[in-house]
Amino acid sequence: RTSSFTMATRPLELFVPGRLCIMGEHSDWAGGYRRFNSKVVAGMCLVSGTSQGLYARATPHPNKLVLTSHDHRGNRVGPEELSMDPKELLRVANSGSHFAYIAGVAYQVAIRYHVQGLVLDNYKTDLPLKKGLSSSAAACVLAARAFNRIYDLKLSARGEMDLAYHGEITTPSQCGRMDQCCAFGARPVLMRFDGDKLDCEELTLKEPLYIVIVELAGHKDTVEILQQLNRAYPVAATPVEEGVQRFLGERNAALVGAAVDAVEAGDAPKLGALLDQFQAEFDEALIPQCPSQLTAPNLHRVLSYAPLRKHIWGAKGIGSQGDGCAQLLCKSAADMEAAMAVVTSELQMGCLPLQIGATRPVTQAVIPAASFAQTLFPASKTLPPALFPVLDADGIMKPAVLVLVEQALAAGILKVVIVVDEAARSAFDDIFHRPPEPRTLQRLPQRMRDYASVINETGRRVHLVTQIEQRGLGDAILTAAHALDADAPYVIMLGDHLYKSTHRNGDSCIQQLISCFDGTSLMALRPTAEAEVSRFGCATGTWEGSRHDSRQKDGAIGAKDGGEIGAKTQTPCAGHVLNLTSIVEKPSVEFARSNLVTPSIGTGEYLSAFGLYIIADASLMLTLKDELDVCLTSSSVRHTLELTPALDKLRRDRGVRGVLLEGERFDIGGE
């Protein structure tokens, strides 16, 4: 049996990026006026998290909120201790003091959930303050995420976003609904604002976007901008106000829709042209409503500066606009560097680089293959499941592990680490690292001789590590740690499994999973009948949905959680993604009925592990190491270190998403 999984003592590491509104500013609050005037067009904006943000460590506290922060210049504030009493938290939130935003979130947590306190140390910040990148919203999301993961509140990114929003508006802040999109991380999101309804759709980038943020060294009054533009709502009283509503409504929706298409098509030149067009129409419609702030001479000097234009596809203002910051969409990484040089040396302005969609590629895999299959005894006495012969789609009889390795390499994996039993290591070496003897080759048909050369080349990518004692799947994964790049993502493929794709384009199961990876760990899932759940690790969560479905039907896929609004549930299909809220090893039917029901999965079915995972960083290995240390110091005779409890802790600490794949998986000897 699996040992009970203990909470690690190491602090929870957190990162929350800033927020860049690529296009659609002001439409969040403008769309909210549909509550009072149905003729107002719903708002729509394209936003993204930044590569800069807030770094923090969090630990639980029995009764206090202990806060420390460092700004982007290294200046430290705190530690400051606050009572978790809601009245005290509300007082601090209303004060507008340094920690008002975090106190506002803590107040919302205190009145919604039964939790204790929190120690939150924002030890590093590389996000500039008050530059249109929503540093205040990032602080609110940071606090919401810390409470969520320390106390396992089971909130999705949307739930954290909603909690952060209500925390920020508890303060004197005038933030809009778009600001907390940084909860989704450093990836683009399409947001829609229809009265009180908010829909969010994560987008897929084919190529990274290279952006330079320019600090315009001017003055802007955001409060004045908002006050003047809000005069046009809910009912326009002048032609100028009608122009404001028209731009923030129908024209904004058209331009943002075109920008989303350009982003997903990887068409950076088109996106740049749309940025220029958006700025031109923004100026024409909105400057007359607030000329003192939106005339913005510094902004327009940068946008029209000829030496910059050869390096960029397009440019526009940021945030509420005015002379705060500008964004330049550069043609390449080299052009980004060149544009920064022009800004600093010729325009004498500050700037910082931003890459969107620059997720580190998945190029390494682990295959635990040291298991002993009781159901295959006595065959398994001499042959582990990973070496059982199977007839592959190319008509060649291969050891199962060779099929897995070939699928991994075909999906772009460059290094495969196979964890083997000491007694079977020689057999694995025979396959991957010892070419057949010449006289053996001579007896083979030409096709098999050619294939022997292919296997020899494949073996150059395969690294074998030996598991001395079998202490469970988690221990097998941990055994591979020294052979991996610790900070890079990696795939886990089970050595006693086979994966067969049913994808319409022929993409393998591992290719499908890798295509969904955006920096957050992934667990492949499949629907499983209730009678079978006690045989597998199972999971549940809330659906994130896809743009394709939400464009065809009103509303985004997902169940309401943590105060989310505007979510509708649709029947999920392969490729849909869940924010996982629970991962459980071999649950009973009764437990599954009470705790693992997932919206839109068929009656009497639950989501179980497919046997494929992508782990984003070293966090899982650290968790497994902590648990192994506990196991080895305990008095238990049998120490078993399993993967599922460690994955559930990874879910709580860093987040894990579930993906439905188009395919089947087969457990060798188990099915």
For the stretch 260-303, pLDDT in tens is 999 988 899 999 999 999 999 999 999 999 999 999 999 999 99
Task: State how far Cα 185 lies from the chain centre.
Answer: 6
Residue (of 427, 656, 650) closest to 541 by Cα position: 656
How far apart are alpha carbons 202 and 192 in whole angstroms?
12
What is the pLDDT at residue 551?
A: 37
Q: Taking the model in full, what pTM does it have?
A: 0.71
In CATH, the architecture of 12-202 is 2-Layer Sandwich (3.30)
Highest mean pLDDT among 160-164, 284-288, 456-460, 537-541: 284-288
Q: What is the mean pLDDT of residues 426-445?
A: 89
- Can you tell me the distance from the alpha carbon of 653 to that of 538, in angstroms, rounded to the nearest whole number? 19
CATH fold label, 364-667: Spore Coat Polysaccharide Biosynthesis Protein SpsA; Chain A (3.90.550)
Name the residue among 224, 158, 287 with its Cα closest to residue 579. 158
Q: Write the single-letter amino acid at 269.
A: P
Question: How far apart, in whole angstroms, are the C-alpha atoms of residue 510 and residue 495?
Answer: 14
CA dihedral 4, 10, 15, 16 (to 10 degrees): 70
Q: How confident is the model over 147-175, as pLDDT tens digits? A: 998 998 888 777 888 898 899 889 887 66
Looking at residues 379-392, what average pLDDT do you find? 80
CB atoms within 10 A of CB 500: 12
Residue with tokens 């319409």: 504
According to the model, what pLDDT value does residue 561 have? 41
Of 586, 573, 521, the C-alpha closest to 543 is 573
Report which of 199, 196, 133, 202 is spatially closest to residue 166, judged by C-alpha positions.
196
Domain boundary assignment for the chain: 12-202, 209-356, 364-667
pLDDT at residue 482 in the model: 92
The residue with greater pLDDT, 556 or 369, is 369
Q: Tell me what percent of the residues of the chain surpass a pLDDT of 90.
A: 45
Q: CA distances (Å), 549 to each of 509, 525, 554, 569, in order?
A: 22, 20, 9, 11
542 vs 569: CA distance, rounded Å: 10
- In whole angstroms, what is the distance from residue 312 CA to residue 294 CA? 23
Coil/strand/helix, residue 44 = strand
DSSP three-state, residue 395: coil
The encoded tokens of residue 626 equal 């902590």
pLDDT at residue 176, rounded to an integer: 65
Res. 567 pLDDT band, cuts 50 70 90: very low
pLDDT bin (cut points 50, 70, 90) of residue 469 is confident
CATH number of 209-356: 3.30.70.890
**CA–CA separation, 311 vs 314, rounded Å?**
9
Confidence of residue 555 (pLDDT cuts 50, 70, 90): very low
Of 138-142, 485-489, 550-554, 662-666, the least confident? 550-554
Tell me the Ramachandran region of residue 78: left when phi exceeds 0, alpha when psi lies from -120 to 50, beta otherwise.
Answer: left
How much of the chain exceeds pLDDT 70, in percent? 88
Topology alike, domains 12-202 and 364-667: no
* pLDDT over threshold 60, residue 131: no
Segment 204-218, tens digit of pLDDT: 777 788 999 998 988
Least confident range from 36-45, 232-241, 588-597, 628-637: namely 628-637
- Bridge partner list, 613: 492, 523
Eight-class DSSP state of 638: S
Angle at 136 between CA 165 and CA 167, to 5 degrees: 30
Task: Please report which confidence band the pLDDT of residue 8 belongs to, taking 50, 70 and 90 as the band edges.
Answer: very low
**pLDDT at 132 (0 to 100):** 55
Residues 6 or more apart whose CB falls under 8 angstroms from that of 423 comprise: none
Q: How far apart are CA 122 and CA 144, in angstroms?
A: 14
Number of other residues whose CB lies within 10 A of the CB of residue 86 = 14
Give the mean pLDDT of 457-482.
90
Asked whether the beta carbons of 8 and 649 are under 8 A apart, the reply is: yes
| CB contact at 8 A, 599 and 192 | no
Q: Which residue has the higher pLDDT, 371 or 516?
A: 516
Strand partners, 194: 197
pLDDT at 559: 34
Q: What is the C-alpha separation between 340 and 313, in angstroms, rounded?
A: 15
Place of tokens 């770094």: 55
